[in-house]
């Protein structure tokens, strides 16, 4: 693995998102002096926040998985997740609601999930689930250290024994093909393949290696920090600060000072010059290339992932007795397969919306005023590169359609609703996100592992990249891993402690 040569005593991390915070903790724990420069007034990056009328909104991700990876970031400075966060186990992880009126509670406990599937679709499907669970667990075991949490210097880095094992267990077949080996019920197939939307590729085109995302939320479990997802970056930043990391908020990086093949200082828009022995850039890819004064050299153009419309809604509280409406509900439309054609191929909004409805106040009532609920309603949408949608004129009407779906399918939810805030692809673009998507680059084969934009920069010896647009990819766990991989490039590989996550068969 290539590493940064020369002195790396003082590292400047640009951006206090999850990748930047992870890198800062890892580097501080390895004895480096670290300065984090953040343009916003608080940590988080894509893990955004907004307070409106007594509601505390998370404007970024709401699904939190793999707490052992979070714990690894804290462990870098001798702390644990429990020292800083009150993580709630969200059980069931999801409630799946189907157009035919049927529902399924998605549980991470193997016995509870098998019993739920037997109730839902019969014993044969429950037995198939057990076999699928075993396959997903094996897939994760093979992939994690060799692919997900590894730096690649070239495609040749893939040629390892793990690659052969991955091929043997079907990792390079299609995701939906592998799931159909175990499950015949089309509704269950959706539960274990809808995560392809996170990867930006339809299940029938996605490689089965990406099914590890289904492992993360249906087996490893879903969690929620009291105080909202914003509590995660706050906790990471507090741990980093106590470990000696300096944070400079409200400072956007305007330029990098070069001397030969090294960056020797970072300049902010306020005129500050911050000397650096090494730099970690977690900026959006267009900003990264601008700061580096580089144009990427790729045979194939980068393909952005689909985007999303998110509506933050306040409504009348449903009360603790409404067990059928939990923390996360996936509302599947009747025309599920057409969803991918609409948003990925045709560049239009879904004709029959499928939605993620998150109710964070189910786990932490303090996020909404007394007697009220806070809802986060996400509809996948085309990004601005392929999309043909005039969001300025259509978004309110589309949000009304989203709300109609919610109140029809979840009739106990949405009474006395007030729309607090809306974010559409044009809004994401105004925040600096390429192609108006918060999900960065799609996980096509040509944008995965050593084929994804690398975290090293050709011709610049001491700059390393981190974040969603580089390895390993999009998501909370992968952003944290990205920061760790960036730190490894600077310091070399440390001695790893044993992983705390127990992979359940």
Are residue 267 and residue 309 in the same domain, yes or no? Answer: no
Q: What is the pLDDT of residue 451?
A: 83
Last residue of a domain, one of 220, 239, 264: 220
Are residue 260 and residue 193 in the same domain, yes or no? Answer: no
Decide if 501 is inside a domain.
no
Weakly modelled stretches of the chain, pLDDT under 50: 299, 497-505
Q: What is the pLDDT of residue 500?
A: 39
Decide if 407 is inside a domain.
yes
Are residue 454 and residue 431 in the same domain, yes or no? Answer: no
Q: What is the pLDDT of residue 503?
A: 38
Decide if 312 is inside a domain.
yes
Q: Based on the structure, what is the number of domains in the chain?
A: 3
Decide if 1 is inside a domain.
no
Last residue of a domain, one of 180, 205, 220: 220
Are residue 340 and residue 286 in the same domain, yes or no? Answer: no
Decide if 116 is inside a domain.
yes
3-state secondary structure 416-462: CCEEEEEECHHHHHHCCCHHHCCCCECCCHHHCHHHCCCCEECCEEE
Q: What is the pLDDT of residue 496?
A: 57
Last residue of a domain, one of 163, 191, 220: 220
Q: What is the pLDDT of residue 222?
A: 98
**Exposure string over 137-150, b if 16+ CB within 10 A, otherwise e:** bbbbbbbbebbbbb
Are residue 368 and residue 455 in the same domain, yes or no? Answer: no
Decide if 486 is inside a domain.
yes
Return the residue matching tokens 């590169």. Answer: 385
Domain that holds residue 318: 304-440
Distance separating alpha carbons of residues 103 and 394, to the nearest angstrom = 31
Decide if 4 is inside a domain.
no
Q: What is the pLDDT of residue 18?
A: 98
Q: What is the pLDDT of residue 5?
A: 95
Q: Which domain CATH number covers 41? A: 3.50.50.60
Are residue 321 and residue 436 in the same domain, yes or no? Answer: yes
């Amino acid at each position: 693995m290539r590493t940064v040569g020369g002195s790396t005593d003082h590292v400047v991390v640009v951006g206090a998102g999850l990748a930047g915070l992870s890198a800062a903790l890892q580097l501080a724990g390895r004895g480096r002096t670290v300065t984090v420069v953040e343009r916003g007034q608080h940590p988080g990056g894509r893990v955004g926040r907004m307070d409106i009328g007594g509601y505390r909104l998370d404007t970024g991700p709401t699904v939190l998985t793999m707490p052992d990876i979070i714990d690894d970031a804290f462990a870098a400075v001798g702390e644990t997740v429990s020292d800083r966060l009150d993580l709630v186990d969200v059980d069931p992880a999801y409630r799946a609601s189907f157009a035919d009126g049927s529902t399924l509670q998605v549980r991470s406990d193997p016995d509870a999930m098998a019993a739920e599937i037997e109730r839902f679709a019969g014993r044969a499907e429950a037995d198939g689930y057990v076999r699928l669970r075993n396959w997903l667990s094996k897939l994760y075991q093979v992939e994690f250290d060799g692919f997900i949490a590894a730096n690649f210097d070239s495609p040749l880095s893939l040629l390892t024994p793990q690659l052969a094992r991955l091929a043997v267990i079907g990792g390079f077949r299609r995701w939906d093909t592998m799931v159909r080996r175990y499950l015949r019920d089309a509704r269950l197939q959706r539960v274990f393949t809808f995560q392809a939307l996170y990867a930006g590729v339809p299940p029938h085109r996605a490689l089965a290696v990406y099914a590890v995302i289904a492992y993360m939320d249906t087996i490893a479990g879903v969690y929620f920090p009291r105080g909202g997802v914003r509590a995660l970056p706050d906790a990471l930043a507090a741990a980093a600060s106590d470990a000696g990391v300096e944070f400079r908020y409200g400072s956007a990086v305007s330029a990098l000072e070069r001397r030969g093949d090294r960056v020797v200082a970072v300049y902010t828009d306020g005129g500050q010059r911050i000397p650096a022995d090494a730099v970690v850039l977690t900026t959006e890819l267009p900003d990264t290339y601008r700061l580096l004064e580089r144009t990427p050299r790729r045979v194939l153009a980068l393909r952005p992932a689909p985007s999303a419309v998110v509506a933050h809604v306040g409504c009348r509280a449903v009360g603790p007795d409404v067990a059928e409406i939990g923390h996360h509900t996936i509302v599947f439309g009747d025309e599920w397969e057409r969803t991918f054609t609409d948003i990925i191929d045709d560049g239009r909004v879904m004709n029959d919306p499928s939605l993620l409805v998150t109710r964070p106040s189910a786990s932490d009532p303090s996020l909404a005023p007394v007697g009220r609920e806070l809802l986060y309603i996400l509809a996948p949408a085309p990004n601005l590169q392929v999309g043909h949608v005039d969001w300025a004129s259509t978004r309110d009407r589309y949000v009304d359609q989203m709300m109609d779906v919610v109140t029809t399918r979840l009739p106990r939810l949405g009474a006395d609703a007030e729309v607090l805030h809306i974010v559409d692809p044009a809004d994401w673009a105004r925040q600096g996100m390429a192609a108006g998507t918060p999900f960065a680059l799609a996980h096509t084969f040509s944008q995965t592992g050593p084929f994804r934009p690398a975290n090293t920069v050709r011709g610049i010896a001491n700059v390393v990249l981190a974040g969603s647009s580089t390895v390993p990819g999009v998501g909370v766990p992968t952003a944290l891993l990205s920061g760790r991989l960036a730190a490894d490039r600077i310091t070399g590989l440390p001695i790893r402690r044993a992983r705390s996550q127990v992979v359940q068969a």
